[in-house]
Amino acid sequence: MNVAVIGTGYVGLVAGACFAHGGQNVTCVDIDPRKVHKLRAGEIPIYEPGLEDVVRDTVAAGRLHFTTDAGDAIAQAQAVFIAVGTPPQEDGSADLRHVLQVAKTIAENVTAYTVVVVKSTVPIGTCAKVRAILQEHGKAPTEVVSNPEFLREGQALIDFFEPDRVVIGVSSERSKAIMHQLYASFVKDPGQILDMDVPSAEMTKYAANAMLATRISFMNEISNLCEDVGADVTQVRRGIGSDSRIGMPFLHAGIGYGGSCFPKDVKALVMTGRTAGHSMEILSAVESVNEQQKAVLARKVLKAFGPDLKGRTISLLGLAFKPDTDDMREAPSLTLCRRLLAAGATVVAFDPVAHETAHVELGDRITYAASWQDCVAKADAVLLVTEWQLFRDLAPEALAAATPCRLLFDGRNAWNAQDFRAAGFSYDGMGRP
C-alpha cells in the first residue's frame, strides 16, 4: 500500500519508518528541504534507540522515501497520515493550524478514494473539522480516521512493533479494513486493535495520558507527605502497588513529569473541559502538583546551603526529561537549573545525549561536562536528575573516587541509600527518611 506521512517529527518519522519496515511503500513529507536532505542521507534529527537503523534499512530497501512535495505523495497514497505538531497555545489549548492546513493540502491533491488518518494528538472534535475541510475542498472521496499514538520515547520501536493496543476511530467498514491491513504485521491478536467511533478514539489518547500524569502527581504528593511524617515512599509503593486494582507502573516518586505529551495533553484536556462547560478539577490539581514538584530538588539544595548559592557548584547527572531520549521539552531539569542559577549557583551538568537540546533551552548559562566524572569533580552537591542506566549502575566507590563531594540528592530514587551512606555519602532521596 502507498502511504504518505505528513510531518517528520517524532510521531511522523517513527510511524513512517515502522510502516515501511512492515512492508508498506511510505513517503514522508516535510516542508524543510534541509531536514529532508539529511533524512535521505540517514541522518536522524531525534534520538530514539534503533530508529536510525530502521530508517537506513528501509530507505536502502526502497520502501521509505522523503520529500518536500506533498502534492505528489498525497496523489499516490491510499492512506495519508497527518502527523504535524499541535503545540499548546497560551491558554493551554492545542494549536490546530498545521493540522487544518494539511487537511486542506490533502483535499486539493487527492485523486482517488483516500483514508486520511489523524495521528497528531488533537482535541476531541478535530477529526470532524478535518472532515469538513476535506468535504469543502476535496477533489476525490475521503474518510477521516482517528489513530492516536501511544509511543513511549526511548521505547518507540518496541511500542510500534509490539503494541499492547492499537486504537482506531472509524466510521465505515472500508476505512476500517484499510487500517487493519496497515497494522496486520504488528499485532499478534486481532483483539489488540480496538475499533471505536472517532470522538472516543480522540478522547482515549487524552484520557490515557491524563491518567498516567495523575498517577505520577499523586505519588509525588504522597512522597512529599512521607518526608514530613517519616514514612518511606518506596515501601508505600510496594504496599499499594501490590494491589491488583492499582499495580506498580507510574507510581515512582520523582521530580515531576515532562516531555512532549503529558504536560501538553493535560493542559489541552483541561481546556476541552472548560470549553464544554466542565471544570476538570482533578487534572488542574495534577498540573499544579507537577509544577511544584519540578522545583523540589532546588528546595532541598537551598535548605542544605541557605538561600545564597554563590560560590557553590551544583552538579546535575542528567538533563533530558527521561532516559533514552534527548527530549528537553518541559523537562524538570529546566526548572531546577533556573532556580539554582537564580540563587547564584554554578551549574555543571552531564547527559549522555541531551547536551545539544539542553543548550537550545539553557544556552551557556550552565556548563556541559564531557563525562559524569568531569561533572562531579568540583561539586558541592551532586543531583541525580535523569535515571539513565549509566547513572543507575554508578557504584558508590566510583563516585567517591571521582569527587570530594559527599552530598547527594537522588531525584529518582535510583540509588541504594544504604550503600551510598555506607560509603560515606549524605544521601537524600524522594520521600525517604
Catalytic residues: 261
Cα dist. 166→16, 84, 101, 190, 210 in Å?
16, 20, 26, 10, 18
Q: Which three cell numbers stand for residue 135?
A: 468535504
Considering only CA atoms, which of 290, 242, 234, 239 is closest in space to residue 264? Answer: 290
User: Identity (one letter) of the amino acid at 123?
Assistant: P
Task: Match 537549573 to its residue by C-alpha cell.
Answer: 337
Q: Which three cell numbers stand for residue 63?
A: 520502501
Helices (H), 117-197: 126-137, 156-161, 173-183
Bridge partners (DSSP) listed for residue 168: 195
CA torsion angle for 131, 137, 140, 145 (degrees, to 10)? Answer: -20
Contacts of 280 (CB under 8 A, 6+ apart): 269, 270, 273, 274
Cα dist. 196→145, 159, 187, 202 in Å?
10, 21, 17, 10
Q: Which three cell numbers stand for residue 106?
A: 490533502
CA torsion angle for 259, 262, 263, 267 (degrees, to 10)? Answer: 150
Contacts of 422 (CB under 8 A, 6+ apart): 396
Collapsing DSSP to helix, strand or coil, 25 comes out as strand
Q: Which three cell numbers stand for residue 13?
A: 518519522
Helix, strand counts (H, E) of the chain: 19, 14
Please report which helix (H) or strand (E) contains residue 274, including its range: helix 262-275
Region of 210 on the Ramachandran plot (φ > 0 left; ψ -120 to 50 alpha; else beta): alpha
Collapsing DSSP to helix, strand or coil, 405 comes out as coil
Strand residues in 179-266 grouped as ranges (E): 193-196
